[in-house]
Amino acid sequence: MFYREAGDFKTTYTDDNQTFPIKFDRYRYYVVLAVAFGVIPFLINDYWANAFLLPFLIYSIAAIGLNILTGYCGQVSLGTGGFMAVGAYACYKLMTGFPDVNIFFHIIAAGGITALVGTAFGLPSLRIKGFYLAVATLAAQFFLVWLFNKVSWFYNYSASGQINAPERFVFGVPVTGANTEAWATYLFCLVFLTISAIIARNLTRGMQGRKWMAIRDMDIAAEIIGVNPLRAKLSAFAVSSFFIGISGALFFAVYLGAVEVGEVFGIQKSFLVLFMIIIGGLGSIFGSFAGAAFLVLLPVVLKLIGVDLLGWPTDIVAHFNLVIVGALIIVFLIAEPHGIAQLWRVAKEKLRLWPFPH
């Protein structure tokens, strides 16, 4: 049907190792990049930036991070909210402590700090697995939120207990603070998402990704082949936390501007990102995007249909959102554990043959 790899010959292994080995996919990827960087910034308005685009970009980074840990390395984590908080608070401390350094570096450094914290909380994974590890990371979630509430050094002793992002510029354009424009914040987040996705893809298609997947699929066999389980698991925690830290920093500095830790980075956030990768697809970078887009768009679309079109009360529509997400989680876990990404793959395989049965 649409396209296939027939006739697309490769003569080197480098060609065969590409992210998008099929020509059609490659061109589509370039088109998506061109539209995202070259077209959307001119069409964007505040409503779409805040309701969909910014949260989508930022949650995608978090979902990629969690997907590396849970989808690729098989280590369940419920600490995503806590690690995002680490990114946010690290970014805040860096922004206020070193106001002369560009915010771009602050956000990367915040990712690095989160990577260290994540690695520390990943240590129990060497001894415990599955459900028990999830509980251990849950402890990280509650401990970190408690810590940022309790120790006032983290929020610079402000009376409200909140952290507020001061105004910062990239190339003279404000990206944080009160006077930001939609296109600037959008592009700033998009740059981070693009780099994160490329790094995640490179890691997962190379030897590091194979080590992670080996640990996920059969840890004993992996160890006998020569995978050091300690290094594989901790590197997954580090890389995953790095991305989650970046997304937390962006969420605070660029998207919200002001954060109260218990409200924004609570356990709900951990579950939200986990639901994104379950619905989107475990072990798939595309799935991280799909899941983030789906869960960010769902309330927006429901509001458009329910409130604006049918005139239902807002709270009923909000509850509908919860019901639908809950039902979808159950459906996906039972019917398609590999999520939207797998549905997409199956659809492509079916379309290769369509309209013939074989």
Partner 1 sequence: MLDQTEGYVTEDGRKIGGVVMEMKNITLRFGGVVAIKDISFDIRQGEIRAIIGPNGAGKSSMLNVISGFYVPQEGQVLFNGKPRPQMRPYEVAQQGIARTFQNIALFEGMSVLDNIMTGRLNKMSSSIFSQAIWRGKAEREEVENREKAERIIDFLEIQHIRKTPVSRLPYGLKKRVELARALVAEPNLLLLDEPMAGMNVEEKEDMSRFILDVNDEFGTTIALIEHDMGVVMDLSDRVVVMDYGKKIGDGTPSEIRNNQAVIDAYLGVAHD
**Measured from the CB of residue 223, what is the shortest distance to partner 1 in angstroms?**
5
**Is 313 within 8 Å of 340 (Cβ atoms)?**
no
Of 11-19, 134-142, 244-252, 300-308, the window that binds partner 1 (rule: CB under 8 A) is 11-19
**Measured from the CB of residue 30, what is the shortest distance to partner 1 in angstroms?**
18
Of 6-14, 34-42, 103-111, 297-305, the window that binds partner 1 (rule: CB under 8 A) is 6-14
Determine if 193 is a binding residue for partner 1 (CB under 8 A).
no
Of 9-17, 149-157, 159-167, 168-176, the window that binds partner 1 (rule: CB under 8 A) is 9-17
Determine if 176 is a binding residue for partner 1 (CB under 8 A).
no
- Which 8-state DSSP code applies to residue 168? E
Least Cα distance to 48 among 264, 300, 311, 276 occurs for 300
Residue selected from 8, 46, 217, 308 as contacting partner 1 according to rule CB under 8 A: 217
Of 133-141, 157-165, 227-235, 288-296, the window that binds partner 1 (rule: CB under 8 A) is 227-235
**Measured from the CB of residue 133, what is the shortest distance to partner 1 in angstroms?**
19
Q: Which is nearer to partner 1, 104 or 169 (CB)?
A: 104
Pairing of strands 168-170, 173-176: antiparallel
Determine if 14 is a binding residue for partner 1 (CB under 8 A).
yes
Residues 277-296 binding partner 1 (CB under 8 A) are 283
Give the SS3 label for residue 233: helix
Of 37-45, 116-124, 171-179, 202-210, the window that binds partner 1 (rule: CB under 8 A) is 202-210
Determine if 316 is a binding residue for partner 1 (CB under 8 A).
no
Q: What are the residue ranges of helices labelled H in the chain?
A: 13-16, 23-34, 40-43, 46-48, 54-66, 80-97, 103-122, 130-150, 182-205, 207-217, 219-225, 229-250, 261-264, 267-280, 285-303, 314-335, 339-353
Of 119-127, 224-232, 312-320, 321-329, the window that binds partner 1 (rule: CB under 8 A) is 224-232
Distance CA 236, CA 223 (A): 16
Q: Which amino acid is residue 338, in one-letter code?
A: H
Can you state the angle between helices 229-250 and 207-217, rounded to 10 degrees?
110
Contacts of 341 (CB under 8 A, 6+ apart): 280, 281, 284, 286, 287, 290
**Measured from the CB of residue 111, what is the shortest distance to partner 1 in angstroms?**
13
Determine if 213 is a binding residue for partner 1 (CB under 8 A).
yes
Q: Which is nearer to partner 1, 17 or 268 (CB)?
A: 17
| Chain CA centroid to CA 209, Å | 17
Distance CA 182, CA 48 (A): 9
Contacts of 178 (CB under 8 A, 6+ apart): 167, 257
| Chain CA centroid to CA 97, Å | 27
Determine if 75 is a binding residue for partner 1 (CB under 8 A).
no
Residue selected from 86, 88, 90, 239 as contacting partner 1 according to rule CB under 8 A: 239
Determine if 202 is a binding residue for partner 1 (CB under 8 A).
yes
**Measured from the CB of residue 182, what is the shortest distance to partner 1 in angstroms?**
30
Residue 164 is inside which H or E element, if any?
strand 163-164
Determine if 129 is a binding residue for partner 1 (CB under 8 A).
no
Of 102-110, 120-128, 139-147, 223-231, the window that binds partner 1 (rule: CB under 8 A) is 223-231
Burial class (CB in 10 A: 0-12, 13-18, 19+), 43: exposed
**Measured from the CB of residue 53, what is the shortest distance to partner 1 in angstroms?**
26
Q: Which is nearer to partner 1, 217 or 308 (CB)?
A: 217
Q: Which residues make up the interface to partner 1 (CB under 8 A)? A: 12-14, 16-17, 199, 202-203, 206-208, 210-211, 213-214, 216-218, 220-229, 235, 239, 283
